[in-house]
Structure 1
Amino acid sequence: MDSKPVRNTMLPYGRQWVDDDDIEAVVRVLKSDFLTQGPAIERFERKVARYVGARYAIAFSNGTMALHGACFSAGISTGDEVITSPITFLASSNCVLYMGGTPVFADIKADTWNLDPLEVKKKITPNTKAIIPVDFTGQPVEMERIMEIAETHDLVVIHDAAHSLGASYGNQKVGILGHMTMFSFHPVKGITSGEGGIIVTDNETYYRKLQLFRNHGLTKNVALMEDNDGPWYYEMHELGYNCRMTDLQAALGDSQMNKLDLFVERRREIANLYTEAFSDMPGLVTPYQADTANSAWHLYVVRWSTESFRVSRKEIFEALRSENIGVHVHYIPVYRQPYYKRLGYSSENCPEAEAYYREAITLPLFPSMTDQDIRNVISAVHKVYYMFVRQLD
């Protein structure tokens, strides 16, 4: 086998695509009167809300603070339990801890790797206050079933759609399927604002609480004030935070929204090429594509059956990295983290999540990948795969 790597430089698993239009949008803000708390934020919020079909959108400094704000708006507090997935980034459950609540981890489905509604049902107790389903990799979770469970038990659904802006479930865009939905604008996500996040909702009460949360709990709305000393007057109604998005971020996000559908289309093209290239490789499991959903393909994860190859996932990972393919692992089950262990979490009876974690490797996927980049990834996977297959002969 050729020992020369398939690439001379490392190909990252994700990368932003910023063009001259984006740069010009940010420069216009730099030359304007407002760098923050100006009109660019509201324009961006309106564009996102319009795209997903929601009444309201509230932008935040990052997706984690957006989730924190959603938990605040839902009234989560000490003693409340919130069910979520263990295969997600830490923010999906940390936001519950911030409010004094208790994250409860339900197992994932073996095919979609998303939260399993049947497992959610098993975890409901009299203390359950909300569900935070996660669209892992951009594949929409079964929101119809999640919402049925929520309605039966009077629960709030905070949809963590950090991976799935541009995805659809049935005939609906992701964004109006839960009571509140969060999108992230980190550089590797569907679009970027540098850092940033947003909550979309149709609920005016949640919208007003989210506005308070992101700006110190302050209001200048005369209709909400207990007193009014004059035009300068403001009141603090809640203990909020300063987690506002800047106009610089909003301008970049606004410009990026113009290209979202093109970005998602390219991601789907790449995912289809991967799936076709890896379809006849026993021991390699490619992502499941549900008929009821259209993924935004934030991530492309392949499961390598380590039992089939008799090697560890670490060996496979390192072999791909040696080909200069910047593979990654998404995610370590949250309950495995030392901080969560100190809180008393262990395996949490999530065998599917454990099985997934033992085998998962994320391949590079981002819109600005060239055709040669894609061929390099496919060549590297084939090279490493057959290297380990030959070792079994």
Structure 2
Amino acid sequence: MIPYGRQDIRQEDIDAVVDVLKSDFLTQGPQVPAFEQAVAKAAGARHAVAVNSATSALHIACLALGLGPGDLLWTSPITFVASANVGRLCGADVDFVDVDPDTANMCPQALAEKLAAAKAAGRLPKVLIPVHMCGQSCDMAAIGALARDYGVKIVEDASHAIGGSFEGKPVGDCRHSDITVFSFHPVKIVTTAEGGVATTQDADLARRMELFRSHGVTRDPALMEGESEGGWYYQQVELGLNYRMTELQAALGVTQMTRLAEYVDRRNALAERYDAALGNLPLKRPGRLAQARSSFHLYVIRVEAARRRAVFDALRAEGIGVNVHYIPVHTQPYYRRLGFAPGQFPQAEGYYAQAISIPLYHGLTEAAQDQVVAAVEKALA
């Protein structure tokens, strides 16, 4: 089976993790700050806060922005459920903005229309989470301008997009947002086994996220109420969680980050080969924004909706580990119980009905890629 995604683990990664196992620190040591610095540098951000998953990073980002009961979070219906769930975990209500039919990213025009209607109704969102689907940035210039006009905070869900760029600048520099979140799950561009990082240019937001990831506890006298009682002293100043990343995860991330450019270049080269090889087949290839460079976490083809199941099953039967990303969040049973229903976001549902993710990862050989292409051609014949 050729999987749709796969991690790349080398001897230097193994050595780095073994070194941590032999060290004095398995958690809360020097590797987490080193990993944070590597991500901040790559993203062009002043601050990076590492946690145990991208879901945790989204959660503490929303908490740092003050999202809570009575507030509203908007995100894309084409995403993993975590992008919406973090709003619910903060006690907020959740709604969705339909996607652009070409890129499956949040549509700026749909957002503009929804914001205007929400303002008229007196119910604007507090936080907006645009999702950089498949590794390609949303049109953050347009989305950021709209958010500023309406006073909405932005968390970029860039779980797919580390190493990507928008308008020639790295995804994660937060030029058009307050916070950006990356994922380091094994099938992502870079892995820490599990892990997430939130980047920001705002020192206060970074401090708040650092508090929320570790129980809301601090040893910093500047953040305490009253005087410190001694070197042992700490205070809980927020209601936080234990979302800390381990030293083993961070050590893996440090070595992986040294290969970020290599990974993204290889994925783009493979995507270009797919573009050429699939160009004459009856399918739709991934749409591109002229001002963005995707990191190509995923390569999603779209086929006729009536044939998608048959094509998917045929590819699996040929040993091609295809998948579908994603089932629209608003159609999930939990969200249906909140009042959402099929038909509310037609572009998202139309995309889902046609989408198939085909294999794309750093270690995919050209011979294996040609095998994928041949299987796609056979399935469509």
Please classify the TM superposition score into its range, dividing by the shorter chain length. over 0.9
Residue number in structure 2 paired with 1:58: 49
Residue number in structure 2 paired with 1:173: 170
Residue number in structure 1 paired with 2:289: 290
State the alpha-carbon separation in 2 of the partners of residues 108 and 336 from structure 1. Answer: 15
TM, length-normalised to structure 1:
0.93
State the alpha-carbon separation in 1 of the partners of residues 148 and 354 from structure 2. Answer: 35
Aligned pairs for 1:129-140 within 5 A: 129-140=126-137
Residue number in structure 2 paired with 1:323: 318
Residue number in structure 2 paired with 1:351: 346
User: What CA RMSD, in Å, does the superposition of the two structures yield over aligned residues?
Assistant: 1.0
Q: Percent identity?
A: 45
State the alpha-carbon separation in 2 of the partners of residues 53 and 356 from structure 1. Answer: 32
Q: Verify the 8 A CA contact 1:83 1:120 in the aligned structure 2.
A: no
Per-residue CA deviations over 1:283-342 (Å, capped at 9, x if unaligned) read 300001221100000000000023xxxx43111110111110000000000011111111
Residue number in structure 1 paired with 2:272: 272
The letter of the residue matching 1:296 is S
Q: Verify the 8 A CA contact 1:29 1:247 in the aligned structure 2.
A: yes
Query: Per-residue deviation at 1:122?
Result: 2.5
Query: Per-residue deviation at 1:123?
Result: 2.5
Query: Per-residue deviation at 1:121?
Result: 2.2
Aligned pairs for 1:174-323 within 5 A: 174-177=171-174, 178-227=177-226, 228-281=228-281, 283-306=282-305, 311-323=306-318
The letter of the residue matching 1:303 is R
State the alpha-carbon separation in 1 of the partners of residues 43 and 225 from structure 2. Answer: 35
Q: The residue matched to 1:285 in structure 2 has which SS? A: coil
Aligned pairs for 1:83-122 within 5 A: 83-122=74-113
TM, length-normalised to structure 2:
0.96
State the alpha-carbon separation in 2 of the partners of residues 364 and 272 from structure 1. Answer: 14
Q: The residue matched to 1:57 in structure 2 has which SS? A: strand
The letter of the residue matching 2:296 is W
The letter of the residue matching 1:214 is R
Structure 1 portions without partners, runs of 5+: 1-9, 387-393
* Structure-2 change in CA distance of 1:289 and 1:80 (3 Å): same
Pick which of 349-358 and 296-305 moved more: 349-358
Report whether the alignment pairs 1:81 with 2:72.
yes
Q: Verify the 8 A CA contact 1:271 1:297 in the aligned structure 2.
A: yes
Q: The residue matched to 1:242 in structure 2 has which SS? A: coil
Q: Verify the 8 A CA contact 1:335 1:348 in the aligned structure 2.
A: no
Query: Per-residue deviation at 1:225?
Result: 1.2
Q: The residue matched to 1:312 in structure 2 has which SS? A: helix
Residue number in structure 1 paired with 2:7: 16
State the alpha-carbon separation in 1 of the partners of residues 113 and 68 from structure 2. Answer: 22
Q: Verify the 8 A CA contact 1:114 1:134 in the aligned structure 2.
A: yes
State the alpha-carbon separation in 1 of the partners of residues 146 and 95 from structure 2. Answer: 16
Residue number in structure 2 paired with 1:5: none
State the alpha-carbon separation in 1 of the partners of residues 330 and 145 from structure 2. Answer: 27
The letter of the residue matching 1:314 is R
Q: Verify the 8 A CA contact 1:181 1:200 in the aligned structure 2.
A: yes
Aligned residue among 158, 161, 181 for 1:161: 158
How many pairs align?
A: 372
State the alpha-carbon separation in 1 of the partners of residues 238 and 113 from structure 2. Answer: 35
Query: Per-residue deviation at 1:348?
Result: 6.0
Q: Verify the 8 A CA contact 2:137 2:161 in the aligned structure 1.
A: yes
Aligned residue among 360, 374, 380 for 1:379: 374
